[in-house]
Amino acid sequence: AWVTEAARKGLLWPHLAPARGTAAESRAPDRCYSSADRKEKIDMSCFPVENTRNFSIIAHVDHGKSTLADRLLELTGAIDKTKNNKQVLDKLQVERERGITVKAQTASLFYNYEGKQYLLNLIDTPGHVDFSYEVSRSLSACQGVLLVVDANEGIQAQTVANFFLAFEAQLSIIPVINKIDLKNADPERVEKQIEKVFDIPGDECIKISAKLGTNVESVLDAVIKRIPFPKAHCRNPLRALVFDSTFDQYRGVIANVALFDGVVSKGDKIVSAHTQKTYEVNEVGVLNPNEQPTHKLYAGQVGYLIAGMKDVTEAQIGDTLYLHKQPVEPLPGFKSAKPMVFAGMYPVDQSEYNNLKSAIEKLTLNDSSVVVHRDSSLALGAGWRLGFLGLLHMEVFNQRLEQEYNASVILTTPTVPYKAVLSSAKLIKEYREKEITIINPAQFPDKSKVTEYLEPVVLGTIITPDEYTGKIMMLCQARRAVQKNMMYIDQNRVMLKYLFPLNEIVVDFYDSLKSLSSGYARDKAYSVGKAICERLKDSLPRQLFEIAIQAALGSKIIARETVKAYRKNVLAKCYGGDITRKMKLLKRQAEGKKKLRKVGNVEVPKDAFIKVLKTQSDK
């Protein structure tokens, strides 16, 4: 939401409402499809819509979605059971390194239950808040979700946020309490939390250990029993929703589609409702979890489609595809990703500009949520202003540029977009709009020409042991946040909901929250200034001359640190001897340093930018 300072206080948090579902009933599967069954093109007509389930796994970071997905893939024979199956759906190097899921992946699982073949389409989702757009995308193709909660940590902030995404999409929600093998696991306590916060009866919770595979089969059975099949009809004309797309260097765009109606096969002519462009389908198939071509895809099924689209902008998320000359009412598009963190990106060396340009272009082919504007800075030369979903998204993008394209860049301080309602007729004419969005601080319109400024706000959920509640409330107030709700989710855990100005939390709020437990308090401007100077001092390489780092508030210097100069021992070759000779050498050295300081350039390593932004350390 976008609000003015005053309006922020009037917004309401949607109240908690009851969820639906039925009791679990588990039964062992009769037989699973094995890898051998999948050598030939699969005939998908043997899966009627009644035997299809489309579901997602949602959870707080690290509660075990990817591990559960691995077990489900093994149980249904999509991958062989080995000890090496770790985060099979996490394909990117950065995902495996950081242990987080960035791009959602789909897998079609074949499962035999009570003598019937079922097609279970699993869509893995990322857990981090920056990627919640991926979650809402994936959910639009589903009828139900597995809500995974760690049996030790219990409900966490992202569990709540993801629950509401699923609840608002009116999906069936199956709570799964994971990691029951942990020594400190307390599934009963978590069950009570689920009852209290989500209003789901405790006996609907399935308790498992995804790591050991304990009770995972009953999850599959619950998917079949509790999630409804998609309401889709093969006899209607094709209506396919694009819910994700990736770019392959050799084959072009691979669009992930959910068929709401109709049938699609190789050779069909399809039209994008968004661009009105026509394409011929080259290949259709399912992901199992690797691409497996099929003869056709039928209503209710989820799969991939390749049709000569050249970049991901041609397969926009939320777009509807239909058959040529058989137009249909497009499916309601869902919330598209809105970049909320903007930062300047520049090559470390301007001669690298063209290489970096092509690396950014290639990477954005795969990540349509990044927006790119050309920009230039007096200090850093020609570059771009990029919009990201959040700070982690920015770091991941940067890491991928480095790892996949060997690029080296400088990133400037991230900022959030603002809006200005213009009062100057001249400006309104110039912009052809009364309300403008500003993504670059350098382009802020003058205050005298503006009626009011608006800033983005977010509703944040914090779950904490109650002993920290007081300190956290103070921190939130210091960040101009407005409290919306507070409740005990069990005896000593409190859930707080606050409306935060995004700018106040985008960089270092999480670090501040963490350091609260070690009793860290601060006086804002001075201590932020001091911390930034200290961090820069630690991050900047020493030079032959002294570097002064100062933090200024307006024209007042509020903090200063000095990076000491390297000192060459110019007296090394003077054995004993004349003091005036020594003084002369030292004087010459001092003059040289003075001269250097005037002409010397300090290259700020790009790591320093990120480090400095996190003004409070994790220490």
Ligand X SMILES: Nc1nc2c(ncn2[C@@H]2O[C@H](COP(=O)(O)OP(=O)(O)OP(=O)(O)O)[C@@H](O)[C@H]2O)c(=O)[nH]1
Kindly state whether residue 366 participates in binding ligand X, applying the rule CB under 6 A.
Answer: no
Determine if residue 127 is labeled as part of a ligand binding site.
Answer: yes
CB 176 within 8 A of CB 159: no
CA distances for 537 relative to 142, 385, 472, 566, 585, angstroms: 50, 27, 30, 14, 29
**Span from 61-69, 188-196, 324-332, 540-548 in contact with ligand X (CB under 6 A):** 61-69
SS3 of the chain: helix, strand, coil, percent, to 5: 30, 30, 40
CA distances for 248 relative to 245, 285, 365, angstroms: 10, 15, 9
Kindly state whether residue 178 participates in binding ligand X, applying the rule CB under 6 A.
Answer: yes
β-pair type (206-207, 172-178)? parallel
Question: Closer CB to ligand X, residue 90 or residue 319?
Answer: 90
DSSP 183: T
Question: Closer CB to ligand X, residue 178 or residue 292?
Answer: 178
**Chain centroid offset of residue 295 CA:** 34
Min. distance of Cβ 214 from ligand X in angstroms? 8
**Span from 173-181, 400-408, 460-468, 503-511 in contact with ligand X (CB under 6 A):** 173-181
* Binding residue for ligand X, selected from 59, 317, 463, 531, defined by CB under 6 A: 59
CA distances for 226 relative to 66, 145, 267, angstroms: 22, 10, 37
Buried b (16+ CB within 10 A) or exposed e, 382-417: ebbbbbbbbbbbbbbbbebbeeeeebebbbbebbbb
Residue 524 structure tokens: 């804002």
**Span from 63-71, 408-416, 471-479, 598-606 in contact with ligand X (CB under 6 A):** 63-71
**Span from 65-73, 168-176, 303-311, 451-459 in contact with ligand X (CB under 6 A):** 65-73
Min. distance of Cβ 128 from ligand X in angstroms? 6
Q: Residues 87-106: x/- map of binding to ligand X (CB under 6 A)?
A: x-----------xxx-----
Min. distance of Cβ 61 from ligand X in angstroms? 5
Question: Closer CB to ligand X, residue 97 or residue 248?
Answer: 97
**Distance in angstroms (rounded) separating the CA atoms of residues 362 and 91:** 17
Determine if residue 324 is labeled as part of a ligand binding site.
Answer: no
* Binding residue for ligand X, selected from 156, 209, 256, 320, defined by CB under 6 A: 209
Determine if residue 66 is labeled as part of a ligand binding site.
Answer: yes
Determine if residue 60 is labeled as part of a ligand binding site.
Answer: yes
**H helices present in 409-495, as ranges:** 425-431, 469-478
Residue whose C-alpha is closest to residue 405's, from 10, 94, 40? 94
Give the three-state DSSP class for 209: strand
CA distances for 195 relative to 31, 111, 191, 198, 277, angstroms: 34, 31, 6, 6, 49
Q: What amino acid is encoded at 537 in this protein? A: K
Min. distance of Cβ 508 from ligand X in angstroms? 21
**Span from 59-67, 256-264, 543-551, 590-598 in contact with ligand X (CB under 6 A):** 59-67
Min. distance of Cβ 142 from ligand X in angstroms? 17
Determine if residue 169 is labeled as part of a ligand binding site.
Answer: no
Question: Closer CB to ligand X, residue 108 or residue 209?
Answer: 209
CB 449 within 8 A of CB 423: yes
Min. distance of Cβ 219 from ligand X in angstroms? 12
* Binding residue for ligand X, selected from 52, 54, 56, 66, defined by CB under 6 A: 66
Question: Closer CB to ligand X, residue 62 or residue 534?
Answer: 62
**Chain centroid offset of residue 368 CA:** 13
CA distances for 333 relative to 58, 205, 317, 529, 585, angstroms: 21, 32, 8, 44, 74
Residue with tokens 């201590």: 527
**Span from 177-185, 242-250, 335-343, 468-476 in contact with ligand X (CB under 6 A):** 177-185
Site for ligand X in 114-143 (CB under 6 A): 126-127
Determine if residue 124 is labeled as part of a ligand binding site.
Answer: yes
| Environment class of 187 (CB within 10 Å of its CB; exposed 0-12, middle 13-18, buried 19+) | buried
Min. distance of Cβ 149 from ligand X in angstroms? 10
Min. distance of Cβ 181 from ligand X in angstroms? 5
Min. distance of Cβ 614 from ligand X in angstroms? 20
Kindly state whether residue 211 participates in binding ligand X, applying the rule CB under 6 A.
Answer: yes
- Binding region for ligand X (CB under 6 A): 59, 61-67, 87, 99-101, 126-127, 178-179, 181-182, 209-211
Which residues define the annotated binding site?
Answer: 59-66, 124-128, 178-181
